[in-house]
């Protein structure tokens, strides 16, 4: 059974860059049938897709974040990462990493809270 664990700083100042890593265990990150994604959830709000990446292809990003987001994969470490530049308070959220298949996210990490505050 696949495991996903998010890690990274929990507190950022406005204009800084958010960097999170998701470590995958119990399954190969290189399996071509799966993609790896990030979803976020602001407090009391719904779910917002941030982006996803295939280990063998280009990433796809939410158009509303595309100019600020980058997702990379490191198969040697069984990790994928999220970078979001120029953060503001509106980027404060719980960030989840997840494994996807077809058009859904079938396995999720527990989530990590990122707060943007001066």
Partner 1 sequence: EIVLTQSPGTLSLSPGERATLSCRASQYISSTYLAWYQQKPGQAPRLLIYGASSRATGVPARFSGSGSETDFILTISRLEPEDFAVYYCQHYGTSPPIFTFGPGTKVDIK
Q: In this chain, which of 60, 65, 92, 115 binds partner 1, going by CB under 8 A?
A: 60
Q: In this chain, which of 13, 67, 76, 102 binds partner 1, going by CB under 8 A?
A: 102
Site string for partner 1, 19-58 (x = CB under 8 A): ------------------x-x------xxxx--x------
Q: Tokens 């509303």 — which residue?
A: 64
Tell me the Ramachandran region of residue 102: left when phi exceeds 0, alpha when psi lies from -120 to 50, beta otherwise: left
Q: How far is the CA of 34 from the CAs of 22, 30, 38, 45, 118, in angstroms?
A: 15, 8, 14, 27, 38
Residue 63 beta carbon to partner 1: minimum distance, rounded to whole angstroms: 7
Q: How many CB atoms lie within 10 A of CB 25?
A: 11
- Considering only 8-16, 71-79, 85-93, 99-107, which stretch makes contact with partner 1 by CB under 8 A? 99-107
Report the residue number, 19 or 107, with the smaller CB distance to partner 1.
Answer: 107
- Say if residues 52 and 62 touch (Cβ distance below 8 Å): no
- Say if residues 26 and 99 touch (Cβ distance below 8 Å): no
User: Which parts of this chain interact with partner 1 (CB under 8 A)?
Assistant: 37, 39, 46-49, 52, 60, 62-63, 96, 98, 102-111
């Amino acid at each position: 059974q696949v495991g996903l664990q998010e890690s990274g700083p929990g507190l950022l100042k406005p204009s800084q860059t958010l960097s999170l890593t998701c470590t995958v265990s119990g399954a190969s990150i290189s399996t071509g049938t799966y993609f790896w994604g990030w979803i976020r959830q602001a407090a009391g709000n719904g779910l917002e897709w941030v982006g996803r990446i295939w280990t063998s292809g280009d990433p796809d990003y939410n158009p509303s974040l595309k100019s600020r987001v980058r997702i990379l994969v490191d198969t040697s470490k069984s990790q994928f990462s999220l970078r979001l530049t120029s953060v503001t308070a509106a980027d404060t959220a719980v960030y989840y990493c997840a494994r996807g298949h077809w058009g859904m996210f079938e396995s999720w990490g527990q989530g990590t809270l990122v707060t943007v505050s001066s």
